[in-house]
Amino acid sequence: MTICSTAFVTLGRAQASALGRPDLPIAVIAHPFGLRTREEVRGIAEQCVDDIARLVAGNKP
Amino acid sequence: MNESAPDSARFEAPDDFDAINRLYRERRWSDGLPVVPPTVERVERMLRHTRRSREEVVARVAPAFGAATVERIAINAVLAGCDPEALPVLIAATEAVVEPQFNLQGIQATTNPVAVWVIVNGPAAQKQGVNATFNCLGQGAWANATIGRALRLVLQNIGGALPGEMDRATQGQPGKFTFCCAENEAANPWEPLHVERGYARGASTVTVVGAEGTMNMNTHTKDAGELLRAFAETMMHPPSNDYCHGGEPWLALGPEHAEILQRAGLSKAEVKRHLWEGSKMPARRMTGKDLLRVQDSRGAELGKIGPDTLLPVSHRPEDIHFIVAGGPGTHSTYIPSFGNTRAVTREITA
Give the separation between CA B128 and CA B93, rounded to whole angstroms.
Answer: 15
pLDDT band at A51 (very low <50, low <70, confident <90, very high): confident
Tell me how close the Cα of A14 comes to any Cα of chain B, in angstroms: 7
CB contact under 8 A, A18 and B65: yes
Contacts of B342 (CB under 8 A, 6+ apart): B101, B102, B103, B248
Report CB contact under 8 Å: B166, A11.
yes
**Residue B3: what pLDDT?**
65
Distance CA B268, CA A8 (A): 42
Contact call for B63 and A7, based on CB within 8 A: no
- Other CB atoms within 10 Å distance of the CB of residue B281: 21
**A32 band by pLDDT with thresholds 50, 70 and 90:** confident
* Residue numbers in A near B289 (CB within 8 A): 34
Q: Note whether A8 contacts B168, CB cutoff 8 Å.
A: yes
User: What are the residue ranges spanned by the domains of chain A?
Assistant: 2-56
Rounded CA separation B73/B68 (Å) = 6
Q: Where are the domains of chain B?
A: 17-213+342-347, 215-335
Q: In what order do the strands lie in the sheet with B321-324?
A: B215-218, B331-335, B250-253, B321-324
Q: Do B168 and A15 touch (CB under 8 A)?
A: no
Q: Any CB–CB contact under 8 A between A15 and chain B?
A: yes
The residue among B310, B227, B289 whose CA lies nearest residue B262 is: B227
Q: pLDDT tens for residues B202-235?
A: 999 999 999 999 999 999 999 999 999 999 999 9
Q: Each residue's pLDDT tens digit in chain B (350 positions)?
A: 556 665 677 778 777 899 999 999 999 999 999 999 999 999 999 999 999 999 999 999 999 999 999 999 999 999 999 999 999 999 999 999 999 999 999 999 999 999 999 999 999 999 999 999 999 999 999 999 999 999 999 999 999 999 999 999 999 999 999 999 999 999 999 999 999 999 999 999 999 999 999 999 999 999 999 999 999 999 999 999 999 999 999 999 999 999 999 999 999 999 999 999 999 999 999 999 999 999 999 999 999 999 999 999 999 999 999 999 999 999 999 999 999 999 999 999 98
Interface A–B counts its CB contacts (< 8 A) at 26
d(CA A30, CA A40): 11
On average, the pLDDT of chain A sits at: 85
Contact A18, A42 (CB under 8 A): no
How confident is the model at residue B203, as a pLDDT? 98
pLDDT the model gives residue B1: 54
Burial of B88: CB neighbours in 10 Å, binned 0-12, 13-18, 19+: buried
Interatomic CA distance for residues B242 and B211, integer angstroms? 11
**Strands laid side by side in the B180-182 sheet:** B180-182, B115-121, B205-211, B344-347
Classify B182 as helix, strand or coil: strand
Pairing mode of beta strands B205-211, B115-121: antiparallel
Q: Do B63 and A8 touch (CB under 8 A)?
A: no
- B181-204, pLDDT tens digit by residue? 999 999 999 999 999 999 999 999
CA B201 to each of CA B19, B123, B155, B254: distance values in angstroms, whole numbers, following the listed order: 46, 9, 29, 21
Percentage of residues in chain A having pLDDT higher than 90:
8
- B109 reaches A (C-beta below 8 A): yes
Nearest to B166 among A7, A14, A34 (CB): A14
Spatial neighbors of B18 by CB under 8 A, at least 6 apart, are none
Residues of A within 8 A of B165 (CB-CB) are 10-11, 14
Half-sphere exposure of A28 (CA within 13 A, CB side): 13
Residue B261's alpha-carbon distances to B111, B145, B258, B312, B322, in angstroms, are 37, 30, 5, 22, 13
Cβ <8 Å between B65 and A10: no
